[in-house]
């Protein structure tokens, strides 16, 4: 069988497609989700060190298996890091160029989750049952998530000791984030809201009264209506809470997920006239281009070049 990169790109190497499609999360070894060692084992290729041909074939096989280009780029980064640590550095630019070409051919755009707007947040929060533990927890989680602009992983990782109630509102210590791998940390200040149902201070106070002051995760995991004391809520559970909440107000739940909280903050802040600097200070974004992706719908009607002419 010809296993050259050219043949794989031309769609001849069907065997590689089958091998890649069989890789599942349970078979991932060292690098998160890349399946490179399993693939190399089954194709009888060396994973350490890995030749340029092996890496090209591996990337091609993932693309042919239908993986999103963003996923493939994450896996390339993982393998690149591992090989560098092992003393076998590789040049990954050709691999990224291959993925970029695939993205162009596929016309694959980035899928963005819809933001939860301020009005939607208020409607969602009002429908959550304040008489149940789940309702109190979920309302606090969604409201605090939008108010802080946190990633779902950051929200899930909060400890009760990270939150301090002060006169203006809340001080939340974020010890680590996606863009702060060294754990320098930062503090987020959140003001009180005007409406009780969408006020981050009042909804979080209600949850902590229910939860108790004992140390541990701020938001506990739940099954049915029972808390798992000491076990924190997962990122996946946060997404499910959001999907269930938006269904209650007749929104298309597949269009919403954990990132809708973060996108919701940026969108609401943009509509409120907040500066890019103040938005980035709250969210921890380092690149203003990311902020603009969220604010496109907001900016679409800020100025009409044909005002009064049509």
The CB-based long-range contact list for 293-299 (8 Å cut-off, 24+ gap) reads 293/110, 293/112, 294/115, 294/263, 294/266, 294/267, 294/270, 295/266, 295/267, 295/270, 297/267, 298/267, 298/270, 298/271, 299/270
Rg (CA), the chain: 23
Over residues 108-159, the pLDDT tens digits come to 766 678 899 999 999 999 999 988 999 999 999 999 999 999 999 999 999 9
Given 106, 129, 151, which residue is the final one in a domain? Answer: 106
Q: Which of 86, 106, 126 is the last residue of a domain?
A: 106
Global confidence as pTM: 0.69
pLDDT band, very low/low/confident/very high, at 6 (cuts 50, 70, 90): very low
Ranking 61-75, 266-280, 290-304 by mean pLDDT, the lowest is: 290-304
- How far apart CA 93 and CA 230 sit, in angstroms, is 44
Q: Note whether 276 and 152 are same-domain residues.
A: yes
The verdict on 267 and 148 lying in the same domain is: yes
Residues 77 and 124 in one domain: no
Is 307 inside any structural domain? Answer: no
Domains identified in the chain, total number: 2
The domain that holds 13 is classified in CATH as: 1.10.150
Number of H helices, E strands in the chain: 14, 5
Residues 242 and 150 in one domain: yes
Is the domain of 144 the same as that of 247? yes
Answer yes or no: do 129 and 254 share one domain: yes
Distance in angstroms (rounded) separating the CA atoms of residues 210 and 114: 31
From 14-18, 189-193, 199-203, 240-244, the region with the lowest mean pLDDT: 14-18
Q: What is the CATH number of the domain that holds 157?
A: 1.10.443.10
Which residue segment(s) compose the domain that 282 sits in?
118-299
């Amino acid at each position: 069988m010809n296993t050259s990169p050219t043949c794989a790109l031309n769609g001849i190497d069907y065997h590689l497609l089958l091998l890649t499609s069989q890789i599942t999360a349970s078979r991932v070894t060292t690098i998160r989700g890349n399946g490179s060692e399993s693939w190399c084992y089954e194709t009888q290729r060396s994973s350490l060190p890995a030749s340029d041909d092996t890496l090209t074939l591996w990337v091609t096989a993932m693309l042919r298996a239908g993986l999103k280009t963003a996923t493939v780029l994450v896996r390339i980064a993982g393998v690149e890091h591992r090989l560098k640590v092992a003393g076998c550095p590789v040049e990954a630019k050709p691999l990224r160029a291959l993925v970029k070409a695939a993205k162009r051919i596929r016309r694959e755009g980035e899928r963005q989750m819809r933001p939860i707007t301020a009005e939607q947040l208020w409607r969602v929060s009002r429908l959550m049952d304040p008489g149940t533990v789940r309702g109190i927890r979920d309302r606090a989680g969604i409201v605090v998530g939008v108010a802080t602009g946190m990633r779902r992983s950051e929200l899930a990782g909060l400890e009760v000791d990270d939150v301090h109630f002060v006169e203006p509102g809340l001080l939340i210590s974020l010890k680590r984030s996606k863009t702060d791998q060294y754990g320098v940390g930062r503090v987020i200040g959140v003001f009180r809201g005007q409406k009780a149902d969408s006020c981050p201070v009042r909804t979080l106070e209600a949850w902590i009264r229910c939860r108790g002051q004992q140390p541990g995760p701020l938001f506990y995991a739940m099954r049915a209506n029972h808390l798992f004391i000491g076990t924190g809520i997962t990122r996946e559970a946060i997404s499910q809470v959001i999907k269930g909440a938006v269904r209650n107000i007749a929104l298309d739940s597949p269009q919403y997920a954990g990132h809708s909280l973060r996108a919701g903050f940026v969108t609401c802040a943009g509509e409120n006239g907040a500066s890019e600097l103040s938005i980035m200070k709250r969210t921890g974004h380092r690149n203003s281009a990311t902020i603009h992706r969220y604010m496109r719908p907001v900016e679409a009607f800020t100025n009409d070049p044909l005002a009064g002419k049509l």
